[in-house]
Amino acid sequence: MRNILVTGAAGFIGSNFVHWVVEHEPSVHITVLDKLTYAGNRENLADIPENRMDFVHGDICDEKLLSKLFPKADAVVHFAAESHNDNSIANPDPFVETNVVGTYRLLEAARAFDVRFHHISTDEVYGDLALDDPARFTEETPYHPSSPYSSTKAASDMLVRAWHRTYGVRATISNCSNNYGPYQHIEKFIPRQITNLLSGLRPKLYGDGKNVRDWIHTEDHSSAVWAILNDGRIGETYLIGADGEKSNIDVLRAILRTMGYSEDDFDWVRDRPGHDRRYAIDSTKLRRELGWEPIHTDFDGGLAATIEWYETHRDWWQGVKEATEAKYKAQGQ
Ligand code: NAD
Ligand code: TDX
Angle of the 189-198 helix axis to the 248-258 helix axis, nearest 10:
30
User: What pLDDT is recorded for position 303?
Assistant: 98
Backbone angles phi, psi at 28, to 5 degrees: -95, 135
pLDDT in tens, 79-113: 999 999 999 999 999 999 999 999 999 999 999 99
Q: How many angstroms separate the alpha carbon of residue 11 from the centre of ligand 1?
A: 6
pLDDT in tens, 266-309: 999 999 999 999 999 999 999 999 999 999 999 999 999 999 99
By three-state DSSP, how is residue 175 classified? Answer: strand
pLDDT over threshold 90, residue 123: yes
Average pLDDT, the chain: 98
- Cβ–Cβ < 8 Å for 1, 230: yes
The stretch 20-48 carries a mean pLDDT of: 98
Q: How many angstroms separate the alpha carbon of residue 14 from the centre of ligand 1?
A: 7
- Taking the CA of residue 81 as reference, the ligand 2 atom at the shortest distance is 32
Q: Which helix H or strand E contains 303, and what residues bound it?
A: helix 299-312
User: What pLDDT is recorded for position 65?
Assistant: 98
Residue 279 CA from chain centroid, whole number: 14
For the four alpha carbons of 53, 236, 106 and 100, in that order, the dihedral sign comes to negative
pLDDT over threshold 90, residue 118: yes
Closest to 290 in 3D by CA, of 209, 236, 326: 236
Backbone angles phi, psi at 255, to 5 degrees: -65, -45
Using most ligand atoms within 8 A of CB, pick from 6, 7, 13, 184 the residue to mutate for ligand 1: 13
The stretch 53-62 carries a mean pLDDT of: 98
pLDDT in tens, 169-193: 999 999 999 999 999 999 999 999 9
Q: How far apart are CA 299 and CA 66, in angstroms?
A: 39
pLDDT in tens, 207-247: 999 999 999 999 999 999 999 999 999 999 999 999 999 99
Predicted structure pTM score = 0.99
Q: How far apart are CA 198 and CA 310, in angstroms?
A: 9
pLDDT over threshold 90, residue 1: no
Catalytic residue among 82, 108, 123, 219: 123
The stretch 118-133 carries a mean pLDDT of: 98
pLDDT above 90: percentage of residues in the chain: 100
The stretch 10-19 carries a mean pLDDT of: 98
User: What pLDDT is recorded for position 31?
Assistant: 98
User: What pLDDT is recorded for position 247?
Assistant: 98
User: What pLDDT is recorded for position 321?
Assistant: 98
Closest to 103 in 3D by CA, of 138, 129, 48, 66: 66
126 is catalytic: no
By three-state DSSP, how is residue 281 classified? Answer: strand
The stretch 145-162 carries a mean pLDDT of: 98
Give the CATH fold of the 3-180+215-240 domain. Answer: Rossmann fold (3.40.50)
Other Cβ atoms within 10 Å of 29 Cβ, number: 17
Other Cβ atoms within 10 Å of 117 Cβ, number: 28
**Domain residue limits, the chain:** 3-180+215-240
